Amino acid sequence: FPISTMRRLRKGEVEVKFEVGPDGVVDVVTVMKTTSPSLNSAAVEAVRQWRFKPTPKGHTAMVDLAFDLDA
């Protein structure tokens, strides 16, 4: 997440669902839940950069991306 957004919000979370193709490349990324829409684009962009080990068929996964500067 952008540092300026993190400092402003102090904490946040984005739950992302994504599809991984057989080649290990992330294809479809969907925000399922968010504490602030200003975090969504950074979360989606981060997940789109992830790469996984190729498999015979693709799969679906979910992940929570979160931060808490006050913890």
DSSP, residue by residue, 9-71: HSEEEEEEEEEE-TTSBEEEEEEEEES-GGGHHHHHHHHHH-B----SS-EEEEEEEEEETT-
Neighbours of 26 (CB within 10 A): 20
3 has a pLDDT exceeding 90: yes
pTM check: above 0.85: yes
Give the CA dihedral 31, 34, 40, 46, nearest 10 degrees: -70
Mean pLDDT of 36-49: 96
pLDDT digits over 5-40, tens only?
A: 999 999 999 999 999 999 999 999 999 999 999 999
